[in-house]
Amino acid sequence: MSELRWYPIQCVELAMLKRQNSQLLNIAGVECELFRKRIKHMHLRIYPPDGIVRISAPMRMSSASIAGFVEAKRTWIQKQQARIASRPAQPERTFCSGEKHAFLGSSYVLQLEQVTGRSNVMFASDETLRIKLRNPTEKETVARALRRAYRQELQTRLDELVPKWQQRMGVESTRIRIRQMKRKWGACRPHSGDIVFNLELIKYPEIAIEYVVLHELAHLIEPSHNARFKAILSNHMPNWKEVEGLLNNR
């Protein structure tokens, strides 16, 4: 690891833009989104699809220290961003029959059918995604029906997994929500016990959903991603790093 380099404030805060509780910075050519939090250690993560760098730093950490941290990891950051950029772009969804959609780690072929009665969505055992609608030619109508089905399927699994892991870990969340999120699989507010899960999880294997449930509930015990937190994960799911890899290929 290279030596940390200290920067004057004006170098660190080039192109700074305040946005809610975050700041957009350009540090030694690396564009970052900085969040100040009540934590002890700094964390750096890179998120697809655009390779954005997000930094969580302690409230009182100096700008120079943050800059040095990013500079030390610059080569690694660039490699990760290049890897993300090399992934093939996802084609725009048409929501027409024959199109493939992910569900629990498998690829389902969309089959649309026009009906006069009640609308219905079914993930069939033959990996066919059957959607029956009054007007299946309207793209947004199909998309909305699929989102609703995804949400119901994920909720069903969370209703089983969350109580299971709460009992095993001796913790209790106050509220569970599902939301579409771009950069996180889940989010936990340890002080309130509020946990949010990404709707996209339903597209991944059930073990991946279970891992995220474990991960977020573990934050009720340890808010930071430190050694203690990782020990909690390892104790309950020894292969958690392997499972996490399923989600990192997003």
> Shortest CA distance to 250 belongs to which of 212, 199, 205, 204?
204
- Where does 115-201 show beta strands of DSSP type E? 120-123, 128-133, 175-179, 186-189, 194-198
Residue 235 main-chain phi, psi, to 5 deg: -65, -40
Q: What pTM does this model have?
A: 0.72
Question: For residues 26 and 55, is the Cβ–Cβ distance under 8 A?
Answer: no
Q: How confident is the model at residue 21 (pLDDT cuts 50, 70, 90)?
A: low
Q: How many helices (H) and strands (E) does the chain have?
A: 7, 12
**144 pLDDT above the threshold of 60:** yes
- Write down the pLDDT at residue 17: 36
Q: What would the CATH number be for the domain defined by 152-248? A: 3.30.2010.10
| Cis bond upstream, residue 49 (ω within 30) | yes
pLDDT at 249: 63
Q: pLDDT of 208-240, one tens digit each?
A: 999 999 999 999 999 988 999 999 999 999 999
pLDDT at residue 14, rounded to an integer: 32
What are the domain boundaries of the chain? Answer: 9-85, 100-149, 152-248
Pairwise CA distance, residues 218 & 230, whole Å: 9
pLDDT (tens digit, 9 = 90+) per residue, 38-64? Answer: 888 888 988 877 888 999 999 999 999
pLDDT of residue 30 exceeding 50:
yes
5 band by pLDDT with thresholds 50, 70 and 90: very low
Q: C-alpha distances in angstroms, 129 versus 53, 98, 150, 178?
A: 36, 10, 11, 22
Output Rg (C-alpha) for the chain, integer angstroms. Answer: 21
For residue 174, CA distances in Å to 167, 191, 210 come to 14, 10, 18
pLDDT value at residue 3: 35
Cα angle at 136 between 135 and 142, to 5 degrees?
A: 115
The per-residue pLDDT for range 156-172, each reduced to its tens digit, is 999 999 999 999 999 99
